[in-house]
Structure 1
Amino acid sequence: MSAEARLREQVCLFAKSLYDRGLTPGASGNISARLEDGRLLVTPTGSCFGRLDPARLSVLDEARAHIDGDAPTKEVALHAAFYETRPAQTGAVVHLHSTHSVALSMLPDTDPEDMIPPLTAYGIMKLGKVKLLPYFMPGDPAMGEAIRGLAGKRSAVVLANHGPVVAGKDLEAACYAMEELEETSKLAILTRGLSPKMLNEAQIQGLVTKFNVEWDD
């Protein structure tokens, strides 16, 4: 099996896993993954993560033009911005409509610069600081401009009233980080108003140093 065929299968496998566990409903969410030659495999517009066909994934060239497969997601600009601003660290991008991270994005006291509270070690290790971006209409190219405005400093963001977007070194890493984002958001919702014991600054900095976490503003 070729590297491209393996990656096509992997995209569909991870997508179905995310769908089966209720992390993105209906025909929501999109995934992209970079091939060795710089082309992108992208989930098609209007597709359900539970029923993707590896042979019908969209293919974009290095200029992000559609060259093969079904029509790509309307969020191509969002994905492209991560590959452009974090080229060395980004081999895949995952965008979901997951319940708890979206809920957290709508609460008035959520910190837009660091929206995930330091509740767990893995939330910090896998995500760093998560930026809350404002609401954009789905498909608005301005989402890509908002990512570019971060100058490559964040691997994970949440679009307000919409959903999280995570870039990783490969598809597996991006999916695992996305799951960590949703689970930590769930913990934040469950413990809200209960004065949970969070990691202190020394504990956070210990994780940042040991695991080389991107933590600067």
Structure 2
Amino acid sequence: ARHDALTGLLNRAAFDRLLADHIAAPQLLPLSVFYVDLDYFKALNDFAGHAAGDLALKSVALGILGCLPPTAHAARLGGDEFALLMPNCNTAQAGRLADAVLAAVRDAELGSTATSRKLAASIGIAFVDDANTTVADALACADDACYAAKAAGRNRFAVFSTDTASGSGGLNAARVVADTVDAMEDGRLKLFGQEIHRLGRPWLESRHVEVLARLAARN
């Protein structure tokens, strides 16, 4: 199977093969790879139910397809993550497509049970102009840019930059911010309290408690 059963877009395996073919074709370079991660989707799913979540994913997919030029392709990588591929693409063209996708996500149909919810997206864009680039590297760069977009406030796009990626801790800081925001949205930040006792006299009643916030990994 080449297509995602829910949205009808290409699936991850088909997109990877298509991206590899495009990278190997010099006449299609430079090409842009988009990593699209929906914002607030987990909250929508929890609030309105999986049926509303599925409706939103299908609506987002239709919106993305409506934005694509004839030579571009779209895939659902899994969950609430999508990818786009646009050959012979410059920075201005990529920016226009990203803005159109952001608008399509904001306008997605959420259903009557989710009227009070909202949906947005963070988009990372990476450009490939070297036929020696691997599929994994291209997607990783787009994913890194997506983290930067999330850290900058969501509902926006960011373009991968080697200067940013090689900066001291800049990318790691963006990932920490984005992961923390996602964890707060998903309810994965948990508060724990633990008593503090004196060493050597643990039987004495504790009057002090240390409170920790722990971030649970996604299942």
Q: Indicate whether the TM-score tops 0.5.
A: no
The two structures have a TM-score, normalised by structure 2, of 0.24
Between structure 1 and structure 2, the one with the greater Rg is 2
Select the structure that is richer in helix. Answer: 2
Select the structure that is richer in strand. Answer: 2
The two structures have a TM-score, normalised by structure 1, of 0.25
